[in-house]
Amino acid sequence: MDDLTVLRTRSLPGVLEKEIEKAILGGELVPGGRVNENALAGHYGVSRGPLREALRTLQAAGLVVSVPNRGYFVRRVDPAEATQIYDVRAALFGLAGETLARRASEDLVAQLRARLDAMDEAARARDFEAYYPLNLAFHDYIVEAAGNPVLAAHYRDLVKRLNLFRARSLVQGGGLAVSNAEHRAMVEAVARRDPAAARETFANHVARARERLLSAESSAASASST
């Protein structure tokens, strides 16, 4: 019965899109690599038609690019584009914070503080494995709570594309406590119902995350070239 419901709800190109996206974000399809339609179609046991429709959607999302008569390639994001993505993401996240500060209920502030405490604990324990998903959920919760689906959709698109930037060393060791201190300032701005301060702290948080990532990347690049 489950298969039936799935097939009724999601179309075949829809599930393929999610599946391929997972493969890309999971690293099975590496950035810059070619996407073979026949191979993929065979792997999923479907025809090339629905597959190509899924790839078109992924192209619009910026995860792959189509070169006429050459095929699809997994998108490669270089530091320059990563910077651009981060700037846009900061602006959107700032908007999320501003919106949240205007409409925040007491329950919502309590929710944010609870998540903050959980992250603090993980940061103190230097437990990156625990911190990472909490951090992700925290940001996602914020963007969702802002109540603007258009904003949320664009934000998620940007985050997906950032995963194509080869630099898994997202936040290393010392970054945890620093990052969560910024989180606390963000939540306090929301609790004070101060839209301007919220926008600023939220946007700055992403801007600083960008600096952390890019400096880590450049040092890693210079290290590997030595």
Partner DNA sequence: CTTCTGTAGATTGTTGACAATCTGCAATCG
Partner DNA sequence: CGATTGCAGATTGTCAACAATCTACAGAAG
Q: Are 160 and 21 spatial neighbours (Cβ–Cβ below 8 Å)? A: yes
Q: Alpha helices of 64-194 — where are they, by DSSP H?
A: 79-103, 106-124, 128-145, 149-162, 175-191
88 binds its own copies (CB under 8 A): yes
First-to-last alpha carbon distance for the chain, in angstroms, is 58
Provide the 3-class DSSP secondary structure of residue 65.
strand
Residue 176 beta carbon to its own copies: minimum distance, rounded to whole angstroms:
28
Inter-residue contact 152 to 146 (CB < 8 Å): yes
One residue of 92, 112, 122, 197 binding its own copies per CB under 8 A:
92
The answer to the question of residue 204 lying near its own copies (CB under 8 A) is no
CA distances in angstroms from 186 to 95, 182, 217, listed in the order given: 12, 6, 26
Binding site for DNA (CB under 7 A): 8, 11-13, 34-38, 45-50, 52, 66, 68-72
Q: Which is nearer to DNA, 10 or 192 (CB)?
A: 10
Contact yes or no for 108/145 (Cβ under 8 A): yes
CB of 65 to DNA, least distance (A): 11
Q: Which of 44, 43, 39 is nearest to 12 (CA)?
A: 44
Interface with its own copies includes 65 (CB under 8 A)?
Answer: no
**Based on CB atoms, which residue is closest to DNA, 65 or 170?**
65
Q: Is 5 in the site for its own copies (CB under 8 A)?
A: no
Q: What is the footprint of its own copies within residues 108-167 (CB under 8 A)? A: 148-151, 154, 158
Q: In the complex, which residues of this chain contact its own copies (CB under 8 A)?
A: 8-11, 13, 49, 52-54, 56-57, 59-61, 66, 68, 81, 84-85, 87-88, 90-92, 94-95, 99, 148-151, 154, 158
